[in-house]
Structure 1
């Protein structure tokens, strides 16, 4: 009652900031709903298990901190706070994100869901088109939906200490991404699309199950790379015997077509426009790391051990040398001299 009386006295002014952190609150005081001018509301370190609907009047709210409470889901009333820029819900017991809430928060730039019990992010997260920072450390996430990759304003993803198995193949669409922090997950392979992240400066994949890095790692302008505690491939040269490969008819045809389309005046180059299925198939082709010729199916996976500082120009890296994937089109290229690629042998 004393707290409510204090709040009632505040109603006579145009209150913009209200701090109720650590007040042992089990319920939200009702007078708050009359504070229509509130821009910032802090209620972390309380005992709140719900956030009542009567707070739908707080339509000017830009900052809301409900961290360290007892909430089991994102309160549905937050959907009416369409001016919200920053939302902190860390250290609750949230197990799911309410899709309808996410569809309304068009202005949200920061979402902090650290230390909850999330197992998945809904596809509606794609509605947070202004989101710049997503923090979901210490949850139980097993994957990211591909829809997350439509958030082109996203600058930082914090997702350490989860159960992530892989990243979306579309991750290269996150053109603004600056930090990607994924330590202590179960990631076995990084997608090739990572090489298209031309703004990525910090990558933390320590404590995962990685053996090798993507082929275009050299295109990422990394300043910091953390990759310790991974079973990364090591260079132990062993003798091997390679026989001349026998290519399938499909592979031979694809290689011929891809060579012809580079030749001006070629009949195949002129005709391929009428075969969208073929164009789509050939768009998935790889390029040989030795001869630069295109080929359709992965023929020979190799590895090159590169120096993080000298070759990749990474200023801070706890591994002096890292293994980077390379694809070769034939044993002929593999057996040529001077390329520095090693075949991959698994024990």
Structure 2
């Protein structure tokens, strides 16, 4: 919710000053509390004029809307995860569909013969209104969830716009106070090289005359890619890394034989939906861009074996990404802002390597243990967000390399001792209590033995409790059985007829 000093260094600085000022005003006797993470010190070295009171005042005025929106969102709550929002949207559609069916049934409902036409019309209108009211009532919760997500999305756009605005304010102030040399220094956009254009044109001309399987355009400072690239049907490998591409044309979906697509180190803010048409794609590298999301259509690339989307600004992964990418073996999404992994990721049965370090993960899906082929897992540097692991973690039977450093994990799951193949483990910078640090310092085998013994002790303790409970029940049952038997004998003896005695012959005589 707060602007990150890494992504919005100037904005986080200005916001921290606003927070500091508000705290000072509200509580002059108490120490000033700055609740926004401070930007790196090098920012002040690069932009020394940020200390100018007049400039800071101008910047503060420019971001008042950001501060107000932040306060509202703090009241409403944190942004819901993408999977929850998708479910809410699905339920809204489902409710609408059900309502339309109900309304259709109401309209087609035949009028009874004994009911007046006008009265029947009023009855139908009442039924329709009732159905709509019930649908609206049912939609309220889901609609609120979607709206909250939209507000957070708008807030993030507001942060980006505010950062750009502050950069322009600082640049204008600098230009006014310094000579024109610094003005020229502020324009960091590299010149466009006509020779690059000629190279692309020559490649397209060559491709039209013969089949091309590989195109290498790495580090050419390209700023756009012609639509004609999508017509090179025989292309198998396309490397466009280390350029200045902001957009990938939709025509890329026409590369029906493409197996390797490398778009790393560009300026991409999104990928086209047509990327889902690349059904033969095996390797996709979109690392080091400005992506905030991956298109849902990426799930259709069923041949994908390696996906690298690290060094971006992703906040989530597509909800259904795991249901169709059954061949994916390597998934790298480190250095993003992902808060939760979708449940569907547990269906990636071929996954061998998962790297999600330096994110904002707050946990793992409960079914994570279904990734039985996972060998390497890096969950490090999720800092204050990651506090525990699910019990199914012990089902990752092929896991051999695990990094959990720089988190807030207090205890490993009781099933941790089941990780027989684990040979490399990093638990540094965690407030671990179970196992104790002296055990951790002895190495991975000591940790596994400790956790396995702890698990066994817990099972034995549970068995003893069950046995005691069973014994107590048996004792009570035995007492009840004995008491019932005694009571039965007593009652039987008390009410049983007396032993037969010789019958009095006088009674048998006839009168």
Whether the TM-score (by the shorter chain) exceeds 0.5 is yes
3-state SS in 2 of match to 1:203: strand
Question: Among 314, 322, 330, which residue is 1:118 paired with?
Answer: 314
Q: Which has the higher helix share?
A: 2
Q: Distance in 2 between matches of 1:188 and 1:163?
A: 11
Q: Give, in angstroms, the shift of residue 305 of structure 1.
A: 5.1
Please report how far the alpha carbon of residue 97 of structure 1 lies from its aligned counterpart in structure 2 after TM superposition.
1.8
User: What are the within-5 Å matches in structure 2 for residues 1-347 of structure 1?
Assistant: 1-11=197-207, 12-99=209-296, 101-126=297-322, 127-185=324-382, 186-220=385-419, 221-233=421-433, 307-311=442-446, 326=455, 327=458, 329=461
Label 1:35 to 1:2 Cα distance change in 2 as closer, same or farther (>3 A): same
| Residue pair 1:94, 1:116 contacting (<8 A) in 2 also | yes
Distance 1:75 1:323 in 2: 48
TM-score, normalising length from structure 2? 0.48
CA distance in 1, matches of 2:434, 2:371: 31
| Structure 2 residue matching 1:103: 3-state secondary structure | helix
CA distance in 2, matches of 1:42, 1:114: 17
Q: Is the CA contact 1:44–1:68 (under 8 Å) kept in the aligned structure 2?
A: yes
- Bigger fraction of residues in strand: 1
**Contact 2:387/2:408 (CA < 8 Å) preserved in 1?**
yes
Q: Which has the higher contact order (CA 8 A, sep 6+)?
A: 1
CA distance, structure 2, for counterparts of residue 129 and residue 235 of structure 1: 35
CA distance in 2, matches of 1:28, 1:216: 51
Structure 2 gap ranges (5+):
1-196, 466-511
Q: How many residues align?
A: 260
Gaps of 5+ in 1: 237-302, 315-320, 334-347
Q: How large is the RMSD of aligned CA atoms in angstroms? A: 2.7
CA distance in 1: counterparts of 2:340 and 2:434, whole angstroms: 28
For 1:155 and 1:330, the matched residues in 2 are separated by: 35
Query: Which has the higher mean CA deviation after the structures are superposed, 31-40 or 169-178?
Result: 31-40
Report if the CA contact (8 A) 2:364-2:390 is conserved: yes
1:7-57 per-position Cα deviation (integer Å, ceiling 9, x unaligned): 134222321110111111111034423321110000011111111122332
Pairwise CA distance, 1:196: 0.7
Closer, same or farther: CA 130–162 of 1 in aligned 2, 3 Å: same
Asked if the contact 1:305/1:324 (under 8 Å) is kept, the reply is no
What is the SS of the residue equivalent to 1:218? helix
The whole-number CA distance in structure 1 between the counterparts of 2:325 and 2:217 is 27
Alpha-carbon distance in structure 2 between the residues aligned to 1:325 and 1:211: 15
Task: Tell me by how many angstroms 1:330 deviates.
Answer: 6.5
Q: 1:77, 1:120 → 2: CA distance?
A: 20
Shift of 1:103: 3.2
Structure 2 contact 334–355 (Cα < 8 Å) conserved:
yes
- Shift in Å at residue 324 of structure 1? 8.5
